Structures are given as structure tokens and as C-alpha cells.
Structure 1
Amino acid sequence: MKIKLSQLIITVLLTAISSFAQTKVSGIVLDDTQLPVPYANVYFKDTNEGTISDENGKFYLESKKTYTELEVTFVGFSPKIITLTKPVTYNLEVVLSEATMLKEVVLYTGKTSKKDNPALDILRKIWERRRKNGLHMFDQYQYDKYEKVEFDMNSIDSAFMKRKLFKGMEFIFEHIDTSNVTGKTYLPMFINEAVSKVYGDNTLNKTKEIIDGNRNSGFSNNQQIIAFVKDLYADYDIYDNYLKFFDKDFVSPLSRTGINVYNYVLADTAYVDNKYCYNIVFYPRRKGELTFKGNFWVNDTTFAIKQIAMSASKAANINWVRDIYIEQEFDVLNDSVFLLKRDHMMSDFALNKKEDSKGVYGKRTTLFRDYEFNIKKPDDFYTPEVNYYDEEVHNRSDEYWEENRFESLNQDERGIYQMLDTLKTVPRFKQAYDLVATLGSGYYQIGNFDYGPIFSSFGYNNVEGARIRTGGRTYFGQNDPWRLEGYTAYGFKDNKFKYGLSGKWMVDKKKRLILSGGNRRDIEQIGVSLTATNDVLGRSFASSSLFSSGSNNKLTSINFSTFSAEIEPVKNLRFLANFNYRTLKAADPKLFSLDYWVDPYDHSKGTESYTEQFEYGFLVDYTPGRKTIGYGVERSDVDDNYARLYLKFSHGIDGLTNYDFNYRKLQFYYRQPVLVGGFGRLFTTLEAGKTFGSVPLSLMGVIPGNQSYFIIENTYNLLDYYEFVADEYVSLHFEHNFNGRLFSRIPGLRDLNLREIIGIKGVYGTVSQDNIRLNASEIIYRAPEDVYWEYHAGIGNIFKVFRLDFAWRGSYLDIPDANKFTIKGVFGFYF
């Protein structure tokens, strides 16, 4: 037999790193016809150490102990015991034979919701007791917690190590290891450790975690990657009906709705740590749904979980994730209280789900100890800190970590910090790291300056023609107390320079008292949002006319200056006061008019096309449940699955110039995401507003149209710009994403992992007679007094990156040249 050198190298490497795992075995479970047996039990004989074969019958099992026998079982087949002649046995083929005689065994096929299924009787008792076990048995609780998060490149082989990409970085392969879940080789690239104290009060339904020590190496200054890590490993409770991972809601095997998506089988009974337990195997009924396969051991008297191990179905409708593996162990206190002792989660990320494709492991291990109960804290103890950052917590000594870790790092983990610190000095790695950071943030960092956003460098519109833009911001880190930002742009058709400048300074870090100001002179598309913001350097829709439909010449030349002060006295509750100055005029009077009558009752005094307005205002912004990254003047959201209530009041001051107006404007915005019982997520958006006083078109509320070929949130797909105007309006949007729940039940579609989206939008509005009389532009005021509405249906996750929507107009169909149907799309990377 001829052995390749690469195979020999891999064998030597695997042997050299196997000292931490004494027994390793992988293989496939087949039946007599050589078909795979999915969800078979595979465990070391006479132990509780085991796993479940996947939907293709494949398995991998590893233990730090030495075992010589492997047992494989599945309902309807005779158990099979395999003798292991060596510590490492790969590519084992296990063939199960149908049982010739069954005693007191009930076979289940298809749905297992039969009344005489003992597994379901046990499951119902778990439901009854799930809020009476563990920490729920006490009014108050507290415990110590240690968490370790690690990211690793996986599927490392000799060919991969020889790539030119790693020239000068060969030393990193000294830290290669093998996963005890998948058996794949991996190379650590990031590690984060945290030690904390957790407090909870069940009577108040509040918790608080105080971090005592935290450190990481690898990506400590990249807020996009840090945000990804934090979102990736959110807390979860296996007793909850739904477990959220990667912005998806998986059905828990302990869910009350679990019998609709899982099959359950009572597989065994045994003593686990001197507790008599039932072993229940569960696996999904259908492909494509967000479910798991695995097994759990549950106590026979308290019906509390003692151990659970589960992995996501490989056919689950989730992108870029090849495997999710979860394992939890519970300790027993006073013979009846089951408390979480260890929680391990591992995810395998890859561009595709092929076994041999390269990817990245994300691993989190959390340990719990020193539980204490019924020690009451003052109610204000649980009030969350608005913006607390302790530098000392993030700079603990090596001696601190040696003393406070719950378990020691293994040899490879101990070397990660030194290896990553050395890696950062390698120019080739720094170049690759900078590229990833630039694509994630949109900025290219040069010292303490971020150049960008690079995706706004080029644009086009009817007034400026081709447009180029360059700019940047200061960036010392994600906790910067101040930031300056600016840009300049040039249009080759109008031959004019534009610019924008802004600055922010956090005066009080604890209450997030922030002073900010800026000035912007540019070409803008007015009327792309009902609810106005004070972002002086916000997105410019005027530059996207290259990808627009219909006439897009209603552009405005603006000069906008603002100064504001904001404070966050309570976490996620923000108050802001601002003073603004703006001038507005048509960017090209030959194409568009903003004219208004000097005297609406005496047209002989002529018209004016220029508006110069001073304005002050106040707003309240409440975002319960919002999670952010960073403690600086700017923060990044972890995700968008939080509610938002936004109330804004503005007062326009007249008499300061010859081109101003006296008005008061009130605006309200409310957005709420809702999980709908495993059938995806519903997003509801309500906007309402009213302008008191007479204002010209430049200050009027415009129902936001969308003349681009792309989906833009909170706009109307079939409306052109300025098709409807209103000084009083109510807008309501509903959009539901089923996350593939319906397509997963249709043969031929389930394997495509497509996702269904439906939505409906409507708006009601009026225009006062005073504003109609004031108007002298060519725009004829039309308000949606009979309610304009449209509806859409979409298909998401096309090729994993594209969504396509089909939209239909529901009213005002008789308007000349009305758009009655459109197709719009959007690109995005989503799990």
C-alpha cells in the first residue's frame, strides 16, 4: 500500500495531539440494505457518554477516558457492540440488523404523538414542573460564572498549511488540535474569558451580572467582530419553548409545541450520578425546520433535566452554519434541586455544508458554581448601568486568571494568547485582518483615522451627474469619548463641491450626556422618510438614481446646521434637545419647483422659491431590550430585534428672516418585532404625525415613495416621490417572515432553504386648506384621504444572499400613470 506523505503528516499530528482524548471513534450506522440509520444511539458501553448519529447516519464520539467497547442501538434493531482495538478508530462502519424478537418494545414510525408513547407522558410531566425546578424554586439566587469563548479555523490539513497565504505564519500550526464533537482538526484564532457574579430575583423577575474580569486576544479592537461574537452566544434556557441562535428561533425539544415537530422515543433508564433517570431520544419529523436531534436524561421524580446533548439538524434553514452542538450538565443540591453546572455550545461556520469544506468553529463553555439562595438585595440593585466601563476589569493580571478560572486552560488554549500576539506583528496577517475589518465596517483604518464609508465613494443623480465622495472619521477604539467626522463630494455635471462636518463629545460617561453639532451642504432627496432625524451626515438617497425607476429629478439643495444635547438617565431611554438651521431650494429649478406664494390671498405679490428656517425641538427615544457594543460616544447594535418608541416635537420660529414660517410639528414612531409561535417573526411599524401651522412644500410631510429597484424599509414600493403629501398622517406597516416554515413542508422546495415574506402597508393623510393655498409649485397636493395601501409577497434567502419582493397597489388605481405592480430586491448576508 502506498501512503502519501500528507497522510503520514496528518496521522503524526493527530497522534501527537491525542493526549487529552484517550478514545476517539467515528463512522456511519447502516441497516442491512446499506442505507444510513439516522438518529441512532452511539455510546461507550455501560456509560452515559454517547452521541446521536446525524440524518446521514454519521457519528463522532470522543472521551478523555479509555474504552474498549462501543454500543449502537436504535428502536426496531438489535443492539450491536463493537470492540475497539485501538484508542483512535475512524471511518467505522456499523451495520444494524432488524430485531427478530422484541420484548416489551413498541415501535414508532412517523409521528410519535400516540397516547401510549411513554416518552410523551414523561415530556408532559417535564412541562408541568419546568417552572418549579432549579432556580425557580427560590425567591432570590446568586452564583459565580466563568465563560470562555473561542474561534478556530477548522478542517486543517497539510495542503491547507502549505498555502502561500500562511508564508511567514507557519508557527501558528503548532497549536493545531482536534474537536471532541466532530473529530476535525482546528486552529485557535480568538479567545475571550470572563469571570462574573450573577444575581437574580424571581419575585421581581430581574437579573444582574457584574463582570469582575474580562480579556480577549485576536480581535479586541474590531467592534463588528465583537458584536458578532456577543450576538452569537446569547443566553438561553432549554426549558423555554424557543431558543434563539443566529437571529433564528429554534423549537426547543422541551417545548410544549415540540410534539408537532419532533419524534420522541424512550430509549433507556439508568442511574446518572446516583439519580435514577429516563433517557429520551428526539429527532425532527421534517427537514428544513429549525429543530435539533439528540437525547436527554431526566430524573424520574422531579422530572428535571440531568443531562442534555443536542445538535441542529443539518437540513435546518440556516445559512453559513454547518453544525450547532449544545451540551448541558446539571448538579443535584439537597437531593432535589437540579442546578446548571456546565453549558457548552459549538458552532461550525462554513460557506457551504459539505463535510470537507473549510470553516470556523465558534465554541463557548460556561461553568457555574457557589450557588446561594434567598439573599435579598435592594430593588434598585437591579437597575442596569447606563454606560459603565471599568478599565481595570479588562486588564487583570495573569495571576488573577490563574486563581479565578474555574478550570485550567489546556496546553493549546494557554498558547493562544502568545500566538495571537505574535501573529498581529506579521504583515501578511495584518493585511488580511484589515481587509476583513474594512468589509465589515465600511471603513479602512489608517492609524487613528477611518477612511470611508467606502461604499459611498461613487454615485449618480440627474442634477450632479456622476458624483465622487471622500471622507472619514477619527477612531481610537470602540470606547472613544469623542468623534469627528466629515466628507466632501463633487458633481461632474453641476461642477459643485459639497461637504459635511460633524462632531460628538460625551461629557458625562455614566449618563451618556453627549453634545453634538455639524453642518451639511449637499443635494438631497426629500421625502424618503416620514419621521425626520437629526443625523447631519445621514444616508444620501440622491446619489442612487443610477438604480432608480421613473423620473427622479425632484432634488433639493440643502444647507443644514444643528446643535444638540442628549442624555440617557435610564438604560435605553434617551432624551434629546436640539436647535437647527436650514435653507432649502430646488437643486435645479428647471426640473423641480419648491415655490410658494408670498401672500396666499394676494397672488400679485408673487412667489418665493427659497426657505430659510430656524427650529428647535425635543425628542424621547425608548428602546427596551436593545443590546449594544461599546461604551463610547457611538455604539453598535447587536441586532434589531427590539421595540422602539420615538416621539419628537419641533417648533419652527418665524420673524428671524424673510423666508421662514411659524409651525409646530409632532411625530410618533413605534416598531415592534413579535415572535409568532414558531411561525417566524412579525414586524409592526406605526408612524403618525401632524404639522400645526402653514408650511411650504419644502417643510411639508411627504409620503415616502421608493423609485429605486431595491427594498427600502418604511417606504411605499409603488409610490413615486411627492405622489402624496400630508400635514397629518397615520401609517401602518405589517411584515411577517416565516423563515421557511411553509416551504419546508413542500417537497422539492424544502432543500432550497427559501424563506417566505408577506406584508401590507397603508397610510391615511390630509392636507389643510391653508397649505393648499400656500403652494405655488408644479406639484399638485394629493393626500391619501381614502387610505392608500399596498401589499407584497417575497422570497428570501435566494442563493443565501438575495431577497425578491412582488408588490401590488391596492388603492388609488385610477391615478394617471399609477404604478400598479413592481418587483424589488435586496442583497444581504443573513443566517
Structure 2
Amino acid sequence: MKQVLFAILFFLITLLTSAQTKVGGKVLDEFGDPIAFANVVFKNSKEGVITNENGIFYFESDQDYSTLVISFVGFETQEIPLKKGLNSNLKIVLIQGTTLKEVVVYTGKTSKKNNPALDILRKIWERKRKNGLYMFDQYKYDKYEKVEFDMNTIDSSFMSSKVFKGMEFIFDNIDTSRITGKTFLPIFINESVSEVYGDNVKKKHKEILKANKNSGFGNGDGVNTFIKDLYADYNIYDNYLKFFDKDFVSPLSRTGIHVYNYVLNDSMFIDNKWCYNIVYYPRRKNELTFKGDFWVNDTTFAIKKINLEASKSANINWVKEIYIEQEFEVLNDSVFLLKRDYMMSDFSFSKKEESKGVYGKRTTVVKNHVFNEPKEDKFYRQEVNFYDNSVFNKPEEFWQENRFEKLNENEAGIYKMLDTLQTVPKFKRIYDLATILGSGYIQVGNVDFGPIFSTFGYNDVEGQRIRIGGRTYFGPHDKWRIQGYTAYGFRDQQFKYGISGRWMVNPNNRLILSVGNRRDVEQMGVSLTTSNDVLGRSFASSALFASGVNNQLTSVNLTTLGFEIEPLKNFTFQTNFTYRTLKSASSEFSLDYYTDITQSEIKSEVKQSEINLVAEYTPKRKTLGYGVDRMDVDFNYARVFLSYSNGFKGVLDSDFNYQKLQFYYRQPALVGGFGRLFTTFETGKIFGEVPLGLMGVIPGNQSWFVIENTYNLLNYYDFVADEYASLHFEHHFNGRLFSRVPYLRKLNLREIVGIKGVYGRVSDRNKLLNASGLNYIAPEDVYWEYHAGIGNIFKVLRIDCAWRGSYLDMPDARKFAVRASFGFYF
């Protein structure tokens, strides 16, 4: 009986593996040293990989192959017989060749002179704007995209964990990665079908989503936090490729010659086109670079195939692997078009080989190209907020007909598996915990409680402060949302609250009506550019740790009514009517002002009605969601903000007439591969008489933490101004300098330097109005300071040192400070 069962089992295994070959192992030289970037392919096929920097390889094929071919420049080619199915732990030794002629062998750092690979690379640079879609005035194609998440490094101890008790059925979908050789369990999948249009003459691009299908666990902000990073747009011909908020140097970059070694490794016919094979790898460790190889045509110098694998030493957190494959098809003798793009990222807390993590994978397949059919300009006008419910509810028959690639058995089982998992309480608890950490909210029914990270706070007026808040949440595309909070200070023994409602009346142009009221205690003057966010509260208002005395807080009662509209993509217009009362929250701080020219009457409370008009432009901003609230994919976009405010005396017993004009501009810029420079410019002027409560205050920073656009060596109210101009520069080198320093490079630290300055004035009329006891000082001689910091300490900590550059003789002037910040950044 045992023999019968064994025979049946052997027969089943044979059936499952007969149409698949899996190989893995290590390539060594005669001295036992690993050979990096060796070619490993199945004989008489185009399927293969190159070994990594440790000589290790793994890949697989749906076909049955019997021979493996291993080659590398300067070594004799080896052929290894294979058995059917899995061939693991192969140890292959290459013998150095003795009969090679006219072959230059490159080891270590390759020469920048007399290197045929670099001659080919220069030809690629010359032709990169003449290849592919760039050859045509207009183009159109169909696109299918699949995004998937998988738990990886699944082993027996993992499967037997108590965490999965009652969910053992999910392991029926385990598969093996053809890239890493690791087992994985698919847990999420999203599919979409689109039409893509472009005009190279007008530099226009548009993508129309035709269908989208989700596994059912991608509707929360917590999941979107991770999914958004897989939708990176990149072109291998660009100098820099952006992944996870980092700029990697492309191997086809004009600057690549300085950061990569290139080796002309092979040449052969691919699809009847003679192509060269070039292997590339980093010149230095810890830089944002790749390793891999590409095949390039010998006449058009267009890329036929390329693979990119991020160096394991690259200065990036929480991502152990980034792997990209692109394959181009030959349309005719001179046109090479992208056919398939595959990207895989391995998210993990550790970069150790055995560590468990999650694969994020994106596969893009394009076909049905049409060229030189022009469209009118209005066609390319991007919809501001197009949402068609039918796009997300296509029947299964549609997907069977329109998938460019069929789902494999495990992928097809994800939908069924997740439907079943939704009925398992334990999995729902695990999923909810991940969502809470990602979004900061705890969902109970259709209400989210939070954000949990603002529950506790402290300041000198309220003492210990506790806050409880919530919002309605039916999904990421909610057209209306109500949110609010209540807080209590144990020192002042007062309750505070805020409530806000927003309703998107017209989704197409995002016409949103809003109303809200807030009564709270806050630190005023921590931002030059004002905000009418009724629930907004600065970090400085309730910092757990602060330096110096922090009793200059204000009791605010703010009511706002407004609307906003987005007539063009990424251009918004807002108008708000606000009414506020301001009074000091502390007996040791005053907002007093004179009510008459003789300075005989003093008033302590400000009542003010105001109309505010705002225009904001955020080019290249990308968002997720179609509802009243959206999530930014990243913050590497420019922001231009123009605000005009008018105060009306007498309206609702308001105290002052004035006009306020403010301008804000923030621009991130890549600086030649040496990181990103963030430039922020702000300027503003108040026309008319205003008291301290409405005056512009140069934002200080008395916390121990880094707060953007504040001055680290200033206390609150050190400087005030009714006209000002501020300029900040902050450069993030992203470890480019430390990667060149021995012993430091292994720490993956990141360098930050910055300088900031502000000029301002106060009119004589506003000085005469002041009865607060605060001596108005304006930075007429330009206040400036500079800072230098180290980021990525233990992957979560940044520490800055700041030095004061001017106004050193001010009373109690701080000349040096240390600031820190925490965060999970890639």
C-alpha cells in the first residue's frame, strides 16, 4: 500500500513539475571566489539571468530544459546537465580561458578609456530621443497593469505559527519567485486596463482608465499608503529613476559613466537583430545604483532587453530588493517599443537574506500601437476628478477577454482566498492593525477614531492635554465627511473642541463646500503663511518636549464657511469667510491694543471677520482617491500659493479694516545626482492697522524637533512684521557624501545642510497700536541661521545642529540648538 501511495504521489509531482524547470546555485572561479555578473541561461533559449555580486543566481521557466549554460568574459563556457523540475544549490566552477583573442577583460573598476562598452553607451545617448515613441508625433496604445502583494520566505515554521491557526487554507496558494527563488504567498492583487495617448509635439500625455479590479483589501488608507509607492513612473533612458522617493542613477544615464562599471560581455541575434550585451555594476557601494545587463541593437542603439537590480548596499530603508525587467518588441527595422515592464520590490525590516518580508510587484503589458493620429488640445485636458463607477464593476467575462496576460493558478486564487479570509476574524484583526499603523485611525463601523498620534500633548498653559477625535469613513471616495475632536487640559481645566463638515457637490471639478468651528488654545505665529483649516493645529501648540517658557498661547474661537473648486488639474481656487475671536490664554501673555489714537483705551480681545481668496497650483502632484479627501502619492512637487485677505470692521462687531497679501513657493529640485534641494520662498504684506493677534509673526521653534519653515534659534514672538520676505534652502544629499567615506558608508547615514533667512519691517502705525507690552522687533537687518544634520540614524532618526548667523546680541539669544525628528522613510 505504501508503494502505491508513493507511486501516486510521485506521479502527481511529476505532472506538476514536468512543464517547469527551476535552477539555483552559485558560480565560482578556480580559487573559490564568487563570479559576479556571469551569464546563466538555458541552452538554446533566451531565458536567463546574471549572477549577483555574490555569484548567486536563481530563475525558472515554464518550459522543460535539460542544459544550463554559464559564461563570463575571460572564462571558458560551462554546460551543466539538468534534471527535470528543481535543480537547487548548484556549485559551478568556471575555468579561466587561455585561448581568448582580442578580448579585453575588465575586473573591478573598468577604465573610462578604450572601453568598447562606453562607445556603445555614447551611441545610446545620441539616439535616446529618436527611439521608440519619440519617433512619432502622436501615439496611442492599450495598457494592462497588474499590482500584487505577496508575503515571502514562507517556510514550515512560518506556516505552523499560531498566528495562522484557522487560516491554514491560505497556504494552498504558495508559489516560488523566479527572481529570488523564495517561496511566497499572494495576498493582494489589483488589475487595470487603460488607453494611453500622447503627443510628442505638444508634449501632452493622457491615460484613460477603462477597467479596474481589486482583491477587496485595497480600499483603506492604510493599504494605499504602501500601494502608492509601486506606481512610480520611470523611463530607463532618463538620467535618474525615482523609486520610493529616491533618485537612482539609470545605467543609461549620461552620468552613469561616473558611477557604473561597464563591460561588453556578448553579442548575438535577438529577433533577427544583432545586439550587444553590456553588463554594468556600481563603482562604489551604498550609492543609489543598480546592477544588471542590457541588450542593445547595433544600428539603432535602442534597448532590446534590460534588467536592473538595486544594489543591496544602496542607501534605502525597508526595501531589500528592487528588480526591474523591460522587454522591447521590434515593430519594423527601426522601431523598438516597450512591450513588457516588470517591477518587484521586497519590503522587509532587515536586508538579511533569510529575513521575511512582502513582495510588491507590478507588471505592465502594452500592445495595439497606433501612430500619428493627432487629437485636439481639449482632448488632453486632464479630468480633475473623473470617477466612473462602472469602471470598477466589470464582470469576470470582461477580464477574461481583456487581460493581456492570463493570471497563473495562484494569482487567480487570490480573489477567492481573500473573499474567504474576510470571514476569518483573526485575519481581519491583523489587517485592521496594519491599517491603523498606516493611516493613524481606528475604524469602528463607518467611523474612524483618531488620529491616534495626536492623543497626548503638553504646553505651559494646558499642562498635560488629552485629545479624542474621529471622522466619518465609508471609503476612500467619500463625497462628504464630518470630523471633529474634543480635548481637555489638566492645568487650565478646560474642554476644547473642533468640528468640521465638507461636502463635494460636484465631483468633476471638485466643488467642495465646508463649514466648521473650533474653540481651542494654540500657539500663534508658527507659520508665515496663514491657513483656514478649521481643525488645523500646529505641532508647537502641544509639543511633549519644549525648550524655554511656552506660555504665549492664544485662546481661539474660529468659525469658517467656504468653498473650493479645481477648474483645472492641480489648480485650486478657494474662498472662505471666517470670524474669529482672539484673547490671551495666559496671564503672563497679552494681546492688548489701543483702541484710540490718544492711547487712552485698551482692549484685550480681538473680534475679526475676514474674507480670504486663495489660488494654489501644484504641478505634477499625484493623488489617490476621488473623494472629498485625497492622499498625496509623494511630496516632490512644486507648490505655488497666493492668498488675499480682507478684514471688515463693523461686520459682526469686527474691530479692524485691513488687507493682507501673501505668496508662498516651494520647489524640490534634483541637483545633478547629488540629492534634492528644497527651496522655499515666502513673502507678504499687511495693508492697514492690526494688533498683535493679527500681526505677522516670524515663526520660532521652541520644541526639540525639526519643524519645517520655522527658525530653530528663535523663540515665539522674537520678531514680528507686517511685511516680510523669507527664503529657505535645504539640501538632502541622501548619503552621497558618506558613501565615499570608509567605515561610514556601512551605516547608510544621510547628510542634510540648510540655510534660511528672513527680512521684515513693522509700520509706525502698528507700533502705536501695540499695548501688549511686547517690544516689536522686526528683522530689518535680515535674520539668518544655518544648520547641518545627519539623517537615517537607526533608519528612523534625524539630528540637526543649528547655528545663529545674526542678531547675536539680542537678549537671551540662542546661538546653538539641536533638533531631532523621527519618521519611517525609504
Give the TM-score normalised by structure 2. Answer: 0.97
**1:83 to 1:208, Cα distance in 2 relative to 1, 3 A:** same
Find 2:802's aligned residue among 790, 803, 807: 807
> Residues 159-238 of structure 1 correspond to what in structure 2 (within 5 A)?
159-238=157-236
1:753 lines up with 2:748 in the alignment: yes
Find 2:647's aligned residue among 649, 652, 663: 652
Map of 1:602 onto structure 2: 598
Number of aligned residue pairs: give it. Answer: 819
Q: Deviation string for 1:658-695 (max 9, x for gaps)?
A: 66111110010000010111111111000000001111
Map of 1:293 onto structure 2: 291
Amino acid corresponding to residue 645 of structure 1 in structure 2:
V
1:88 positional shift: 1.4
1:569 positional shift: 0.6
Map of 2:376 onto structure 1: 378
Q: Distance in 1 between matches of 2:18 and 2:706?
A: 52
CA contact (8 A) 1:20 1:64 kept: no
Find 1:278's aligned residue among 276, 279, 287: 276
Q: Deviation string for 1:117-167 (max 9, x for gaps)?
A: 111111111111111111111111111111111100000011000111111
Q: Deviation string for 1:454-495 (max 9, x for gaps)?
A: 122222221112221112111111111111111111112212
Which stretch has the larger CA shift, 70-79 or 141-150? 70-79
Q: Distance in 1 between matches of 2:725 and 2:19?
A: 64
> Residues 466-615 of structure 1 correspond to what in structure 2 (within 5 A)?
466-541=464-539, 543-588=541-586, 590-599=587-596, 601-603=597-599, 605-615=600-610
Find 1:786's aligned residue among 781, 784, 798: 781
**1:778 to 1:16, Cα distance in 2 relative to 1, 3 A:** farther
1:676 lines up with 2:676 in the alignment: no
Which stretch has the larger CA shift, 659-668 or 622-631? 659-668
CA contact (8 A) 1:223 1:630 kept: no
Q: Distance in 1 between matches of 2:19 and 2:644?
A: 65
**1:241 to 1:488, Cα distance in 2 relative to 1, 3 A:** same
1:777 positional shift: 1.2
> Residues 44-59 of structure 1 correspond to what in structure 2 (within 5 A)?
44-59=42-57
Map of 1:640 onto structure 2: 635
Q: Distance in 2 between matches of 1:89 and 1:13?
A: 18
Q: Distance in 2 between matches of 1:101 and 1:418?
A: 59
Map of 1:724 onto structure 2: 719
> Residues 680-759 of structure 1 correspond to what in structure 2 (within 5 A)?
680-759=675-754
Map of 1:825 onto structure 2: 820
Q: Distance in 2 between matches of 1:829 and 1:539?
A: 22
CA contact (8 A) 1:217 1:417 kept: yes
Which stretch has the larger CA shift, 455-464 or 258-267? 455-464
1:92 positional shift: 1.4
Which stretch has the larger CA shift, 105-114 or 35-44? 105-114
SS at match of 2:336: strand
Give the TM-score normalised by structure 1. Answer: 0.96
Q: Distance in 2 between matches of 1:63 and 1:576?
A: 56
**1:763 to 1:16, Cα distance in 2 relative to 1, 3 A:** farther
Find 2:146's aligned residue among 148, 154, 161: 148
Q: Distance in 2 between matches of 1:547 and 1:20?
A: 65
Q: Distance in 2 between matches of 1:623 and 1:120?
A: 39
> Residues 355-394 of structure 1 correspond to what in structure 2 (within 5 A)?
355-394=353-392
**1:658 to 1:129, Cα distance in 2 relative to 1, 3 A:** closer
CA contact (8 A) 2:460 2:549 kept: no
1:78 positional shift: 3.0
Q: Deviation string for 1:269-325 (max 9, x for gaps)?
A: 111111111111111111011111111111111111111122111111111111111
Q: Distance in 2 between matches of 1:774 and 1:579?
A: 25
1:264 lines up with 2:262 in the alignment: yes
1:540 positional shift: 4.1
Map of 2:28 onto structure 1: 30
1:767 lines up with 2:755 in the alignment: no
1:543 positional shift: 4.6
**Identity between Structure 1 and Structure 2 (%):** 68
> Residues 67-78 of structure 1 correspond to what in structure 2 (within 5 A)?
67-78=65-76
1:67 positional shift: 2.1
Which stretch has the larger CA shift, 483-492 or 152-161? 483-492
CA contact (8 A) 1:21 1:62 kept: no
Q: Deviation string for 1:373-428 (max 9, x for gaps)?
A: 11111111000000100000000000110111112111111111010111111100
CA contact (8 A) 1:542 1:555 kept: no
1:72 positional shift: 2.3
Q: Distance in 2 between matches of 1:15 and 1:413?
A: 21
Map of 1:3 onto structure 2: none
Find 1:89's aligned residue among 79, 87, 90: 87
SS at match of 1:293: strand
Map of 1:796 onto structure 2: 791
CA contact (8 A) 2:648 2:654 kept: no
SS at match of 2:151: strand
Q: Distance in 2 between matches of 1:542 and 1:620?
A: 27
Unaligned runs of 5+ in 1: 1-7
CA contact (8 A) 2:197 2:205 kept: yes
**1:17 to 1:116, Cα distance in 2 relative to 1, 3 A:** farther
Which stretch has the larger CA shift, 216-225 or 639-648? 216-225
Amino acid corresponding to residue 634 of structure 2 in structure 1:
D
Q: Distance in 2 between matches of 1:655 and 1:543?
A: 31
**1:816 to 1:327, Cα distance in 2 relative to 1, 3 A:** same
Q: Distance in 1 between matches of 2:652 and 2:473?
A: 39
Amino acid corresponding to residue 117 of structure 1 in structure 2:
N
**1:781 to 1:309, Cα distance in 2 relative to 1, 3 A:** same
1:110 positional shift: 4.2
Unaligned runs of 5+ in 2: 1-5
- CA RMSD for the aligned pairs? 1.8
Map of 1:4 onto structure 2: none
Find 1:118's aligned residue among 84, 94, 116: 116
Map of 2:97 onto structure 1: 99
Q: Distance in 2 between matches of 1:409 and 1:76?
A: 41
Q: Deviation string for 1:548-606 (max 9, x for gaps)?
A: 00010000001000100111110111111111100000001x2111111222x423x23
Q: Distance in 1 between matches of 2:25 and 2:156?
A: 22
Amino acid corresponding to residue 78 of structure 1 in structure 2:
E
CA contact (8 A) 1:793 1:806 kept: yes
CA contact (8 A) 2:761 2:779 kept: yes
Amino acid corresponding to residue 474 of structure 2 in structure 1:
F
Map of 1:5 onto structure 2: none
Q: Distance in 2 between matches of 1:657 and 1:212?
A: 52
